[in-house]
Amino acid sequence: MQPSIDVSSSPADPMTPRMFRVLRNYNDTADCYTLSLQAEDGDPLLFAPGQFTMLYAFGRGEVPISISGDPSDPGTLIHTIREVGPVTQALREVKKGGLIGVRGPYGTAWPVKEAEGNDVVFVAGGIGLAPLRPALYQVLHRRSRFGKVALLYGARTPNDILYRDELEKWRSRFDMQVEVTVDRSQAGWRGHVGVVTRLISRTGFDPVNTIAMVCGPEVMMRFAVAELTGRGVAQEQIHVSLERNMKCAVGFCGHCQLGPAFICKDGPVFVFPEVKRLLSIREV
Amino acid sequence: MDTLQRILTSHPFFEGMWADHLQIITGCATNVRFEEGDYIFRQGEEANHFYLIRQGKVTKEISPPQSEPLIVQTLEEGDILGWSWLVPPYQWRYDARALTMTRAIALDGACLRNKCEHDRELGYELLKRFSLTVSRTLDATILQLMDVYAAID
Ligand SMILES: Cc1cc2nc3c(=O)[nH]c(=O)nc-3n(C[C@H](O)[C@H](O)[C@H](O)COP(=O)(O)OP(=O)(O)OC[C@H]3O[C@@H](n4cnc5c(N)ncnc54)[C@H](O)[C@@H]3O)c2cc1C
Ligand code: FES
């Protein structure tokens, strides 16, 4: 299991949010937007890639959202959010200069340090690219410490592709492979069409020395793990990020419990064998 | 060994296949090239071939009535295009079009079916390989059908 990062920058009461001001709030796609925040007290929010915060839209409620910015720039707190319900809608409506409450960071991290010396394969589906982006930044900052690096990203349609400019930039690097696919398309799109898992067989990596980090809808992660293990990557080398509804985010309330694990504390990033059985539990 | 047989031998689809079987298959193979925008085959046409894509990109398209064709999958170097030549009524179920200039090896399905009838071992080998392609495509289709990134109502 990944070690939790010490939440030293949080106030003494883990349930009390810190105030953050919105620097920018812009649309990435029709239903996704990115919030760029700065702490009112001026203290940066140090985090490890894969960790999340609880974002509080005043008067509406609080939701867990992964940090999607660069860990080496903790002065600006970035989250990319998909609008799915009341709280994510309320957060979208907070304008530049508005205030949002933030608790955290919480949870376990992607194994970037562990991955040094190995090939690294990121497999992202939909909004799952957001929680992976900090790990990708970290790998690219220390590029020489890793073998081959590949980002395989699947979106629903070409209009749903996140971080287009950055994907272009990464794709133009000579030291990483970037493949983007969409599940459905019409004329005009010249990229891949098909599910993200099909990209795995097109990617050059050494299965024995590869760390895979997978984030997206759970069904997609199951198929991705099957494809990776089919290529010879051991389950212990595959890491996934899970999501469940949360309330306290600090292991008190049991809201996020999945089998014996509390997603907020033991996750959200797990090494696959830890959650293999849980991933196939049908929830009621 | 001629060029075609060498290409077939090095293709992952034929990996581990006996040399005499490969020689028979090579007898049914030709080199083909499609320019950007060319249809490789159209829905409803007789399915006489399958293709090993060597270079380029091919779209599989479904044309719903009165609307734009929907691209359901793209295939690239190393992929196999088509198995309708293997199952009655030997008709294509979708259109295949070259998205970019595409080079491929076309394998004559009628010729292969005939050879497989006479050499059951060859038939079994080919079917084993196609089953794998079909099952992987089925897995991908299931995931695609689940529309996992769709908005939740
Ligand atoms: C650790 C963690 C990290 C997360 N990171 C991100 C992130 O980076 N960006 C982001 O957009 N979202 C992220 N989420 C999901 C986010 O927390 C939920 O979308 C949010 O809580 C929805 O709140 P709401 O009030 O807007 O909608 P709700 O009323 O709570 O939900 C609206 C609809 O969305 C569905 N829904 C709720 N949560 C999820 C979910 N996690 N996955 C799929 N469907 C869901 C509900 O079943 C319901 O149908 C994360 C969740 C967790 C646990
Ligand atoms: S959210 Fe309360 S225990 Fe995890």
Structural domain spans, chain A: 10-106, 119-241
Residue of A15, A246, A258, A266 to test ligand 2 pocket, by largest number of atoms within 8 Å of CB: A246
Amino acid B12: pLDDT: 85
Tokens of residue A199, six digits? 């990209």
For residue range A202-241, what is the model confidence (pLDDT) as tens digits?
899 999 999 999 999 999 999 999 999 999 999 999 999 9
List chain A residues with pLDDT less than 70: 1-12, 280-284
Could B149 and A156 be called an inter-chain contact, meaning their C-beta atoms sit closer than 8 Å? yes
Could A217 and B149 be called an inter-chain contact, meaning their C-beta atoms sit closer than 8 Å? yes
CA distance B11 to chain A (A): 14
| Cα–ligand 1 centroid distance for A237 (angstroms) | 27
Q: What's the angle, vertex CA B73, arms to CA B72 and CA B77, rounded to 5?
A: 165
Average pLDDT of chain B is 91
pTM of the model: 0.91
Architecture of domain B2-143: Sandwich (2.60)
Average pLDDT in the B45-56 region?
A: 94
Q: Which of B88, B94, B90, B91 is nearest to B137 (CA)?
A: B94
CA distance A41 to A18: 8
Ligand found nearest the CA of A262: 2
Verify whether ligand 1 is closer than 6 Å to residue A128 (CB atom).
no
CA distance B102 to chain A (A): 14
Beta strands in B56-130 (DSSP E): 57-62, 70-76, 80-81, 95-98, 102-108
CA distance A44 to chain B (A): 33
For domain A119-241, the CATH class is alpha beta
Q: Where are the domains of chain B?
A: 2-143
Angle of the A129-141 helix axis to the A164-171 helix axis, nearest 10? 40
CA distance B4 to B23: 10
Asked if A275 and A249 count as a contact pair (C-beta separation under 8 A), the reply is no
Q: Which residue of B has its CA nearest to A198?
A: B140
Average pLDDT in the B19-30 region?
A: 93
Could B150 and A156 be called an inter-chain contact, meaning their C-beta atoms sit closer than 8 Å? yes
Q: Which residues of B touch A (CB under 8 A)?
A: 57, 59, 68-74, 76, 78, 99-100, 139-140, 143-144, 146-152
Verify whether ligand 2 is closer than 6 Å to residue A244 (CB atom).
no
For residue range B61-73, what is the model confidence (pLDDT) as tens digits?
998 888 888 899 9
Following DSSP, what letter does each residue of B19-46 receive, concatenated?
HHHHHHHHTTEEEEEE-TT-EEE-TTSB
CA distance B79 to A188: 22
Amino acid A2: pLDDT: 44
Amino acid B69: pLDDT: 86
Asked if B25 and B14 count as a contact pair (C-beta separation under 8 A), the reply is yes
**Hey, is the C-beta of A217 within 8 angstroms of any chain B C-beta?**
yes
- Residue B122: pLDDT over 60: yes
Asked if B53 and B17 count as a contact pair (C-beta separation under 8 A), the reply is no
Tokens of residue A87, six digits? 């709280």
Architecture of domain A10-106: Beta Barrel (2.40)
Could B148 and A126 be called an inter-chain contact, meaning their C-beta atoms sit closer than 8 Å? yes
CA distance A250 to chain B (A): 27
Amino acid A20: pLDDT: 97
Q: What percent of chain B clears pLDDT 90, i.e. is strictly above it? A: 75
Average pLDDT in the B95-112 region?
A: 95
Could A160 and B74 be called an inter-chain contact, meaning their C-beta atoms sit closer than 8 Å? no
| Cα–ligand 1 centroid distance for A181 (angstroms) | 23
| Cα–ligand 2 centroid distance for A245 (angstroms) | 8
Q: Which of A276, A184, A266 is nearest to A234 (CA)?
A: A276
Could A193 and B151 be called an inter-chain contact, meaning their C-beta atoms sit closer than 8 Å? no
